[in-house]
Amino acid sequence: MLADTDAGSVLTAAQSGAQWGYRLLLLQFLIIPLLFIVQELTVRLALSTGKGYSELILQRFGRCWAKLSCVALVASCFGALLTEMSGLAGVGQLYGVPVWQSVALVAGLILLMVCSGSYRAVERVAMLFGVAELAFLYMAWHARPDLQHIRQQVLVMPLHDASYLYLLAANLGSSVMPWTVFYQQSALIDKGLDLRDLRAARLDTMLGAVLCQLVTAAVLIASAAVFAGHGGVVLDTVPELADAFGRVLGPLAGRLLFALALSGGALVATIVVCLSAAWALGEMRGTRHSLEQHPLQAPWFYGAFAVLLLAAALTVVLSHSLVRLSIATAVLNAVLLPLVLGFLFWLARSELPPGLRLQGRYAVAVGILFLLTGGLGLYAGVTGALHG
């Protein structure tokens, strides 16, 4: 959950509120069951098979499809890393720190933490950072949104407007992200969990899905309240957004809380994204590795982690626009949804034992939901990109 409400999610939700008021608020709550169903299926697959998502695709569909899924994952991961590193660099700019210094510091600290700690140690540090995201709930409350405006706009969905479709796709793609599917399945395995932990893992996933969308909705509400009456506002930088939240809580407190909340999600997501790619690429090569191993014992795993992180850091140092880059990354995730959801559906139908297999009416309902979600993500993303 803390990784899912990353810099990209925050910036997408903020732009949604600034540009469309509360017209994309209902979508945040409709995503909750979708997010839970997707992640709960990865829980079943992980705990019953003991294999990662890439490993199962390779086993079930062959090397060609496995490579395609890995290409999609790496594209999604790299885009996400650009977003996270840009967000962290933007926070540094709020306090006069040059982009290259912020990015170098973050990359160095994450590499040091990952190379010197077990999975549980890394997870605890990441969760400590991520708790700061709850500040967005506080911001939404103090923004004092107009309930009359919410009632007027929450059911309005101008699906004929390309710019609305583009942000709709971005909201889908910043909630149900391909790398979160890869990550959760591999992380459960790396923790050493099995079917005895199924109930707890399901509860954990449900709470995560609800909290994720509550935080995202809070960002949208705060942004819509701040920019009320300024329809069509387009945000370009993190300082612009921080200044907006400063109007709610005061320049000092608003900037500080925003910086902590955005940084928390971005730091967690940076770690998760790198781990997702490293685990998936390792599974493709048949060399599954863990954070429990020393870097010299698993050079491929730590090498893939480091290369992805450093490549993203260098790209961010050389680039400029953050908000548009973040939204474009989320739209890419939405366009990839048919591929990711399709693989997940068939794996849940074929690789699970009878008691856990996706079947019956629930399988039909999940199939329809995945088909509609994948189709909407693809249509809205392509239409919005071409005509927005």
Instruction: Yes or no: say if 2 and 127 are a contact pair by the CB < 8 Å rule.
Output: yes
How is residue 197 annotated by DSSP?
G
Instruction: Yes or no: say if 316 and 103 are a contact pair by the CB < 8 Å rule.
Output: yes
pLDDT of residue 231 exceeding 60: no
CA distance 53 to 302: 19
Instruction: Yes or no: say if 209 and 221 are a contact pair by the CB < 8 Å rule.
Output: no
Q: Which residue has the higher pLDDT, 274 or 184?
A: 184
pLDDT of the residue at 153 = 93
The mean pLDDT of 227-239, rounded to a whole number, is 68
Distances (CA, A) of 177 to 61, 116, 191, 217, 310: 22, 28, 22, 17, 22
Across 76-90, 109-123, 185-199, 244-258, least confident range: 109-123
CATH number of this structure's domain 2-387: 1.20.1740.10
The mean pLDDT of 289-295, rounded to a whole number, is 59
Instruction: Estimate the share of the chain in helix, then strand, then coil, as percent rounded to the nearest 5.
Output: 80, 0, 20
Instruction: Yes or no: say if 115 and 295 are a contact pair by the CB < 8 Å rule.
Output: yes
pLDDT of residue 2 exceeding 80: no
pLDDT of the residue at 381 = 92
Q: How far from the centroid of its chain's Cα atoms is residue 270's Cα?
A: 10
pLDDT of the residue at 189 = 85
pLDDT of residue 110 exceeding 80: no
Task: Enumerate the domain spans of the chain.
Answer: 2-387
Helix (H, G, I), strand (E, B) or coil at 22: coil
CA distance 271 to 5: 13
Q: Which residue has the higher pLDDT, 162 or 260?
A: 162
Band of the pLDDT at 262, cuts 50, 70, 90? Answer: confident
